[in-house]
Structure 1
């Protein structure tokens, strides 16, 4: 044990400058991710500004009881799971497909141009994307103009909640697929080209090469990305659901999620305890989903698991 401890000290001494370089990142995580966890106490207290977190009255699980007693929490939970599930599945399909298309572009200049073009929407703020969507789906917007060209009746999009799951999925894919496709493209570039050359000699088509070589070798990257996204399945993208829908009350039945619900609670009634309870609920369920998903992956392929 003493010998092993001395060996670890020597390893730390050799890597001291590399460890020193990680210090800013570790400080960032500690300040913005670990210290705020102290605020979870608010979920179990009747929080008052004047009394502070520690001085506020302890109410136990009363905030959770009030949260789950409302019908809204089940609606927003269902919407959060359904929409984020659609984002994960559709985003994976489109991102991998986009990466496959970019992988086939052999011209370096064109490849860089396409990657930059697909990545650009990811850099736009949701506020700006929300205005784009409004210009598209307002009563006199581009979507209704296209429908009128085909002799179809115009739709009042912002009072028709049944269309918005599809609209939100399309907007999410447009904005994020380019970013995630670059991750999958990087995984494809790491595949040994000799596999494809051998497949060509055997007469394999492009589609057969994708099915038999690219996707199986890309599966570890896909698995890790899916596990990370499942961990955030209870955390909706607030900018997407608030700005693109313009917080329209007519759309709440299909677009209201936990994050927008908590925001409205804070803005309208200022109930920090209940809002914190909802956040705590998100964190616990997210952790459980990641743990279960990782356990399933370990049973199927141990090397693809996160831990």
Structure 2
């Protein structure tokens, strides 16, 4: 009884905080936890019937691991896994470095009004859809009317068939992703920098530390816990690819598949051509399980070196 009474006492004590967290809790319950029951589709030959979604799941035939063979039994399995992993590794590393660097630069700008202008300009691309970004890229790389080929012609350089030449696309994809995402990520680190106790910098200046020494010995160590947590969360989605980036920006060009085909686009094309919902569910389950395992392993490694910066 004492435990029950203590439980209700804690509820009453934290009722304001719990009410604030209630909308997010409901959202996660309906859109993240309840749909997990649908994972059973990955092991079934799902066929929709007039009796409804859940009845269709019950009536569909069990096929075991058959749906997972869709990902691993083709010649493309290695390519899509390689592309997904390598791109995400570059996104995580370069995104972390550039986001922290941009946040530090913005924090060091003396004119705060000008800093707000720069921050807004960097943040704006995040709100653009990949469809719009894809058209922006096309306006630069179009063979006959693209700005890049048009400028190159001034210098006597032959135009390049950008959407038929896979040579440059790994760099293009990384640059476009960073252009769109770094501004948003830097805001998170900028907020953390604004929360650092200013007396630390004042004490460092009294001791004769210059700006670089202050950044190296105060700013970066204070950002280290946030950098670690965000990196661990990013590792959890290392087997997921941004569908819009790899489908819209590349204009689904078949000649670029060897360097732009990732798990998400491969599953989408397979689902569009075969209509097998079970295969796409199997791919999503595979990505989630691998991502969960990587987060647990990465968190274990972090705990070995710095327990305070681990997720749990």
TM-score range, shorter chain: over 0.9
Question: Counterparts of 1:34-183 in structure 2 under 5 Å?
Answer: 34-50=33-49, 52-139=56-143, 140-183=145-188
Q: Once the 2 structures are TM-superposed, how far is the Cα of residue 74 of structure 1 from its aligned partner?
A: 1.9
User: Which residue of structure 1 lines up, in the alignment, with residue 285 of structure 2?
Assistant: 280
Q: For structure 1, which segment, 47-56 or 246-255, has the greater mean C-alpha deviation from structure 2 after superposition?
A: 47-56
User: Is 1:12 equivalent to 2:6 in the alignment?
Assistant: no
Matches of 2:13 and 2:188 in 1, distance apart?
32
Matches of 2:97 and 2:17 in 1, distance apart?
38
Q: For structure 1, which segment, 248-257 or 24-33, has the greater mean C-alpha deviation from structure 2 after superposition?
A: 24-33
Q: Once the 2 structures are TM-superposed, how far is the Cα of residue 100 of structure 1 from its aligned partner?
A: 1.1
Closer, same or farther in 2 for the Cα pair 1:109/1:66, shift >3 Å? Answer: closer
Matches of 2:157 and 2:201 in 1, distance apart?
48
For each residue in 1:240-286, what CA deviation from the matched residue of structure 2 results, as whole angstroms up to 9, or x when unmatched?
Answer: 11110011111110011111111101111112122211111101111
Q: Once the 2 structures are TM-superposed, how far is the Cα of residue 5 of structure 1 from its aligned partner?
A: 4.1
Matches of 2:5 and 2:111 in 1, distance apart?
53
Q: Once the 2 structures are TM-superposed, how far is the Cα of residue 149 of structure 1 from its aligned partner?
A: 3.6
User: Is 1:258 equivalent to 2:257 in the alignment?
Assistant: no
User: Which residue of structure 2 lines up, in the alignment, with residue 237 of structure 1?
Assistant: 242
Matches of 2:116 and 2:17 in 1, distance apart?
32
User: Any idea what SS the aligned residue of 2:196 has?
Assistant: coil
Of 217, 222, 225, the match for 2:227: 222
Q: Once the 2 structures are TM-superposed, how far is the Cα of residue 216 of structure 1 from its aligned partner?
A: 1.2
Q: For structure 1, which segment, 147-156 or 77-86, has the greater mean C-alpha deviation from structure 2 after superposition?
A: 147-156
Aligned length: 306
Matches of 2:302 and 2:158 in 1, distance apart?
48
Closer, same or farther in 2 for the Cα pair 1:114/1:68, shift >3 Å? Answer: same
Q: Once the 2 structures are TM-superposed, how far is the Cα of residue 85 of structure 1 from its aligned partner?
A: 0.9
Report the TM-score when normalising by structure 2: 0.93
Matches of 1:173 and 1:66 in 2, distance apart?
31
Q: Once the 2 structures are TM-superposed, how far is the Cα of residue 107 of structure 1 from its aligned partner?
A: 2.3
Q: For structure 1, which segment, 80-89 or 49-58, has the greater mean C-alpha deviation from structure 2 after superposition?
A: 49-58
User: Any idea what SS the aligned residue of 2:248 has?
Assistant: helix
User: Is 1:29 equivalent to 2:33 in the alignment?
Assistant: no
Matches of 1:189 and 1:14 in 2, distance apart?
30
Q: Once the 2 structures are TM-superposed, how far is the Cα of residue 4 of structure 1 from its aligned partner?
A: 4.3
Matches of 1:23 and 1:270 in 2, distance apart?
37
Matches of 1:297 and 1:29 in 2, distance apart?
27
User: Which residue of structure 1 lines up, in the alignment, with residue 209 of structure 2?
Assistant: 204
Closer, same or farther in 2 for the Cα pair 1:108/1:72, shift >3 Å? Answer: same
User: Which residue of structure 1 lines up, in the alignment, with residue 52 of structure 2?
Assistant: none
Closer, same or farther in 2 for the Cα pair 1:150/1:305, shift >3 Å? Answer: farther
For each residue in 1:277-303, what CA deviation from the matched residue of structure 2 results, as whole angstroms up to 9, or x when unmatched?
Answer: 111110111101111111111111111
RMSD: 1.5
Matches of 2:66 and 2:224 in 1, distance apart?
44
Matches of 1:105 and 1:246 in 2, distance apart?
39
